Amino acid sequence: MGAAGRYGGEAMIIAIDGPSGSGKSTVARLVAERLGWLHLDSGALYRALTLAALQRGARMDDPEALLSVAMTSRVELRPAEGEEPRVVLDGADVTGAIRTPQVTAHVGALADVPAVRARVTALVRQLAQGRDVVADGRDATTVIFPEADLKVFLDAAPEERARRRFEELVRRGTPVAYDEVLAAILERDRRDRERAVGALRRAPDALVLDTTGLGLAEVVERVVCAADAIRARRAARAEHGGSASEEGR
């Protein structure tokens, strides 16, 4: 009882990583909803800061300028029932505006800047303080929460991810061609996997799920089952005189 956990109190953390279009944000949101936990979408923070940089006319090839934007912008994630969290930038709701192809095209440059990454990492950890959370991104399992209770790596074939992203953009009313979406996904994969700090990679202890042939509900079910198993193990240990901090993870 009262044992201090790794990130504050006895809160639990599920971290989910995966490439663009692997479905991690949607899965993270639905898992968080099922468990009644907070969803922290780190990609939404990178996107909001990218939008801020574009709005302020910062040069996307100037790391100092990008860091200055990151240090002087206030980004909030507000949970919304049954929907993705609302993203608020300096008081304005930018939930839709951060998903445009323009922001998508520039977010990689901002996410390449190590000091900007440190800022976002600190912000996510601060938002998670003492709460049960599901966090997703590219380095949620490796850098932001390397000691998460459950780590998940979601993957899918690039063509499948491009199809999902294409359909999402069409739903949002953004006119695009599938081939362009696929090319952008492949380019973002390369950038996300090759960046010097915070690159996308599978944590050795992550549960790996290839979602190519799997429905959303099935993926969510598997993650929730894995989380339930961990919770049950914790409860059993606590009952037998152990404590959460003695689990050795």
SS3 209: strand
CA 170, CA 232: separation in Å to the nearest integer? 42
Contacts of 68 (CB under 8 A, 6+ apart): 58
197 or 230: CB nearest ligand CDP: 197
65 or 118: CB nearest ligand CDP: 118
CA 9, CA 200: separation in Å to the nearest integer? 28
Shortest Å distance, C-beta 169 to ligand CDP: 11
Q: Where are the alpha helices (DSSP H) in the chain?
A: 24-35, 42-55, 63-72, 101-111, 114-128, 158-171, 178-194, 216-239
Q: Look at residues 50, 8, 10 and name the one whose alpha carbon lies nearest to residue 243.
A: 10
Shortest Å distance, C-beta 199 to ligand CDP: 8
1 or 196: CB nearest ligand CDP: 196
CA 214, CA 209: separation in Å to the nearest integer? 9
Shortest Å distance, C-beta 20 to ligand CDP: 3
> In what order do the strands lie in the sheet containing 150-155?
38-41, 133-137, 13-17, 150-155, 207-210
Shortest Å distance, C-beta 198 to ligand CDP: 6
Shortest Å distance, C-beta 232 to ligand CDP: 29
35 or 107: CB nearest ligand CDP: 107
184 or 227: CB nearest ligand CDP: 184
Residue ranges binding ligand CDP (CB under 6 A)? 20-21, 25, 42-43, 46-47, 107-108, 111, 137-140, 188, 192, 198
Shortest Å distance, C-beta 226 to ligand CDP: 21
140 or 244: CB nearest ligand CDP: 140
Distance of CA 136 to the CA centre of its chain: 2
Structure tokens at 58: 């910062």
How many CB atoms are closer than 10 A to CB 73?
18
CA 132, CA 18: separation in Å to the nearest integer? 21
**Residue 167 to residues 18, 28, 162, 170, Cα–Cα distance (Å):** 19, 19, 9, 5
94 or 107: CB nearest ligand CDP: 107
